[in-house]
């Protein structure tokens, strides 16, 4: 593990040194490097800062758009009533045109469906933070350096927060937005929270809406008898055997 960690560290640093210096090529890598150099850090600390941030950006690129789309399509196939609602909404808003940014913003039912899908199948099952100084969390003393893991699945499956239908697919619970859906604010955080929340959240929502609206407006979906339901936690929560759908032209 330690050898693998070292190899990845070296690979990233080599790439950073190869690409990171070019002034004409102002990109996110350069911003990370500048951010590190503008702090009072040793060379080792600068290298770690750059490598950690590169990893942090590469990790979310790992199928983060595709997997929530697959779960949402699976749920729409399983719940034809919601599939019909989404289709009717998309057909009315788009009226035969490709979805524009303004049209995506009007797709309220599709937004509710995606939120509910991300509640039942969140991308990861936890959010993590490290205490940068000794701190108090509620009544608990948290010493500097301790990692805190917030188990999202426990929060998203709690009937005291979501009500008795917590295990059901009910996008209607998001009819009044996220705050109206659960009894405790800040519990539902599909894209995280605070300064390190998801950098790609608006892109991801737009991407999901474009993909699903185009598919659902052209095809009806049902689950294939071959589908085997088996969510597994790899880097993210994925369908172990994929999702087999039967697709018919509308």
List residues near ligand HEM by CB under 6 A: 56-57, 60-61, 64-65, 68, 118, 123, 127, 190-194, 196-200, 203-204
Query: Is the Cβ of residue 96 or residue 194 nearer to ligand HEM in the bound state?
Result: 194
Minimum CB–partner distance for residue 233 and ligand HEM (Å): 14
Minimum CB–partner distance for residue 59 and ligand HEM (Å): 8
Q: Are 71 and 52 in contact (CB under 8 A)?
A: no
Query: Is the Cβ of residue 221 or residue 236 nearer to ligand HEM in the bound state?
Result: 236
The contacts of residue 172 (CB under 8 Å, 6+ apart) are 112
Query: Is the Cβ of residue 199 or residue 210 nearer to ligand HEM in the bound state?
Result: 199
Query: Is the Cβ of residue 67 or residue 94 nearer to ligand HEM in the bound state?
Result: 67
Minimum CB–partner distance for residue 186 and ligand HEM (Å): 11
Minimum CB–partner distance for residue 250 and ligand HEM (Å): 25
Which residue has the CB atom at the shortest distance from ligand HEM?
192
Query: Is the Cβ of residue 4 or residue 61 nearer to ligand HEM in the bound state?
Result: 61
Minimum CB–partner distance for residue 3 and ligand HEM (Å): 26
In sequence order, the β-bridge partners of residue 237 are 233
Residue 72: phi and psi, rounded to 5, are: -65, -40
Q: At CA 10, angle to CA 6 and CA 13, rounded to 5?
A: 140
Instruction: State the Cα–Cα distance between residues 142 and 206, nearest whole angstrom.
Output: 38
Q: Are 236 and 123 in contact (CB under 8 A)?
A: yes
Query: Is the Cβ of residue 27 or residue 56 nearer to ligand HEM in the bound state?
Result: 56
Q: Give the distance from CA 20 to its chain's centroid.
A: 28
Instruction: State the Cα–Cα distance between residues 83 and 73, nearest whole angstrom.
Output: 9
The CB-based long-range contact list for 147-156 (8 Å cut-off, 24+ gap) reads 150/126, 151/125, 151/126, 152/122, 152/124, 152/125, 152/126, 152/127, 152/189, 153/122, 153/125, 155/187, 155/188, 156/119, 156/120, 156/122, 156/187, 156/188
Minimum CB–partner distance for residue 198 and ligand HEM (Å): 3
């Amino acid at each position: 593990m330690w050898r693998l960690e070292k190899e990845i560290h070296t690979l990233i640093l080599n790439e950073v040194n190869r690409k990171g210096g070019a002034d004409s090529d102002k990109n996110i890598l350069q911003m990370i490097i500048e951010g590190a150099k503008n702090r009072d850090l040793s060379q080792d600390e600068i290298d770690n800062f750059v490598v950690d941030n590169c990893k942090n950006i590469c990790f979310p690129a790992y199928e983060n758009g595709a997997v929530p789309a697959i779960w949402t399509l699976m749920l729409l196939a399983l719940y034809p009533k919601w599939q019909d609602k989404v289709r009717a909404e998309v057909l009315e808003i788009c009226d035969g045109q490709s979805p524009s940014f303004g049209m995506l913003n009007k797709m309220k039912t599709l937004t509710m469906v995606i939120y509910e899908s991300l509640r039942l199948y969140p991308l990861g099952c936890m959010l993590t933070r490290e205490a940068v100084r000794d701190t108090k969390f509620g009544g608990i003393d948290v010493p500097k350096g301790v990692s805190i893991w917030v188990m999202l699945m426990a929060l998203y499956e709690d009937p005291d927060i979501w009500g008795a239908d917590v295990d059901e697919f009910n996008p209607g619970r998001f009819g009044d937005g996220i705050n109206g859906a659960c009894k405790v604010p800040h519990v539902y955080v599909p894209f995280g929270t605070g300064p390190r929340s998801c950098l790609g959240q608006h892109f991801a929502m737009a991407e999901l809406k474009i993909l699903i609206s185009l598919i659902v407006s052209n095809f009806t979906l049902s689950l294939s008898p071959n589908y085997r339901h088996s969510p597994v936690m790899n880097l993210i929560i994925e369908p172990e055997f994929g999702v087999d759908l039967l697709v018919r032209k509308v």
